[in-house]
Each structure stands twice: as structure tokens, then as C-alpha cells.
Amino acid sequence: MGKTDVYESDYLENAEVFADLVNGILYQGKRVVKAQELSEQDGELRSVSGSQVKKAVRDKVRLWKGTILAVFVVENQTKVDYHMVIRAMLSESMAYDKQWKKLKSQSASEKEVLSSDEFISGMGKDDRFIPVITIVVYYGTDKPWDGARTLYELLDTEGMEEEILPFISNYQLNVFDYHDYEDFGQFHSELQSVFEFLRYSNDREQLEKRLTKNREQYEKLSGQAKMLLTQLTNIKKIPDVGEKQFRGGEFSMCKAFEDMEKKGRIEEIIETGREFHFSEDKILERLQKRLNISIEEAGAYLTEFDKEHSIIHIL
């Protein structure tokens, strides 16, 4: 599991966030799943057939309402996995196989006499499995999800669709890609701000508008949410925020954005000045006017820039 995957998985340890994620993706924001109804489940699956062992590790698994309704499986993706449909089908098949083996063991121990059908099947006629629902959450910032969402999309049936597809079950992948949305009102937790930030992270003007409009929500973001966002958007450092504070998410997301924007403008002014061989006085003057700051502040920014970029002035 990569470093980013760990942050994504840890973030979903919060039952309230997990429930909101499921409700927002599957039930259009209707609060069907309650946090208190969720319980921990082991994410590892093994399938043994003779000497062959297959293993699948699911990112986050929760049991809903004990053993009655469903297992929710959330797979976190920062890159498009073009075989995700097959991967999800396989892990769900293994999950049902695990349940079947448990039923088989119970039948053997609880029933004194098994019918021939029960013996062969490893289960009774009225035995039932817990449904397994897989959700793929795509966090990638490079591009929208462009992989298959159904099994049909992966099949080469050109010219023979009518003869072949009616006889094949079309597995449907539940993919959530924030690129598909303009707003995230279907979420009621801080997920609304998390997905909004990701959605507009490559559009600085739009992101600034959203941060200004929803400043109160962004100021309330948990440290885990802030750390997840910095990982996903490749923010490695925030001006005036120490490494310890940064790693703990102890900073304001809005102020961090504003500081980074300001630093970006400062660097652009200085780099342009250096490129055109402006004198230091002219660069200071441009900084002062464009940022509406004192000449002393402009001098401090120029000194800091030169220090960070290891620029040495030879007199």
C-alpha cells in the first residue's frame, strides 16, 4: 500500500465519514446508513484450491447492521486501474466463497445428517449470503476516471453484441469520481469540502471562490482531512507552517491556500525580474506595488527567495 493509500484508508476509519461516503455515493445523500450501525471487518480474503492460494486485500470494509444487510467495501484509487471491474468481481467472488466455506463448516458441525444435495453443495437450500457492495473512490487529480465501469465495456463483442451480450451478466462497478460533479451537496460531513477542494484544485480561480464562499466549513476541516488533501494535491510545504504542524494538519486550509497563492505571485514577480535582468531596486518596486506591501517587506521576500533558490550575489 502506497503512502497516499494509507492516508485515504486512515481517513475512512472515521465511521461518520464512512457512512456519509456510502450515503452520498449510493443513496444521493439520503441518510440510509448510520455510523453506529457499522462494525469492523477484516479486509483480507484468501481462496485456497489445492496448492493454489489467491489473496485479495480490500482497502476498507465495514459490516452494516450486524450480519443482516451488507458488507460495504471501499477501494481507494489515485490512478485509473483499467482492470478494476475484474478486480472487484474477483474480490466479491472471494468474499462470497469465504461465506460459503463458513456455511459449509456450520452445516457439517450442526447437522447430524446431511442430505445428498446439502453434502454436495456444502450448504442448505434456505442458507443465504450477506450481500457485498464494492465502491471505488477515485481520488486522482491528473484526469477523470477513463476506465471501464461495466464488464460489457471490457468485452470484445464487436458485430456480435445481440448474439452474445444477452447471455452474459453485466457486472456494474460503483465508481465515484469527483470530476463528474460541480458541487457535493449529497455529502453532509467534511467530505463535501474534501471533494470540492480536489475538484477545483487545478483551477485556482474557482478554488479561491469556493474557499471564500465556504470558509467556515474549510476552517473546521479535521487534521486528517487536511493531511489527505496535501498528499493528494502534492502540497509538500506551506509558508510559515513548521514541519511538525504540517504533518499534524495543524493549519488553516484557507490561510494555507492564501499564503501559497501569495508566495506564487511573489516568485512569479521575482523570476520575471531575474529573467529580464531587472535591477534589485526595480524588482523591489514591482513587489511593493503589486502586493501592496512596504519596501521592507518586499526586501524580506526577495532575501527569502534568494535563500531558498540558493542565489548568491557577487559584489
In a shared domain, residues 33 and 58:
yes
Do residue 167 and residue 23 come from a single domain? yes
Within this chain, do residues 46 and 169 fall inside the same structural domain, yes or no?
yes
Q: In the listed set 209, 232, 255, which residue is the last one of a domain according to the structure?
A: 232
Domain count, the chain: 2
Do 117 and 215 sit in the same domain of this protein? yes
Name residue, grid cell 517587506: 297
| Residue 13 placed within a domain | yes
89 within 8 A of 149, measured Cβ to Cβ: no
C-alpha to C-alpha distance for 186 and 16, rounded to whole angstroms: 14
Kindly state whether residues 281 and 227 are assigned to the same domain: no
165 lies in the same domain as 287: no
Task: Look at residue 202 and tell me if it is in a domain.
Answer: yes
pLDDT computed for residue 233 by the predictor: 85
For the chain, the straight-line distance linking the first and the last C-alpha, in angstroms and rounded, comes to 52
Same-domain status, 302 and 212: no
pLDDT tens digits, 6-43: 778 788 888 899 999 999 999 999 999 999 998 877 66
Range of the domain at 147: 3-232
Q: Do 127 and 260 share a domain, yes or no?
A: no
pLDDT of the residue at 310:
61
159 in the same domain as 97: yes
**In angstroms, rounded to a whole number, what is the distance separating the alpha carbons of residues 177 and 138?**
5
Q: Which of 184, 209, 232 is the last residue of a domain?
A: 232
**Which residues in the chain land under pLDDT 70?**
1-5, 42-57, 66-74, 308-315
Same domain, 75 and 210: yes
In a domain, 75, yes or no: yes
Q: At what angle do helices 204-213 and 191-199 cross, to 10 degrees?
A: 160
Residue 51 domain-assigned (yes or no): yes
Q: What is the pLDDT of residue 72?
A: 59
In a domain, 199, yes or no: yes
Burial of residue 73 (number of CB atoms within 10 Å: 0-12, 13-18, 19+): buried
Secondary structure of 212-264 in HEC code, one letter for each residue: HHCHHHHHCCCHHHHHHHHHHCCCCCCCCCCHHHHHCCCCCHHHHHHHHHHHH
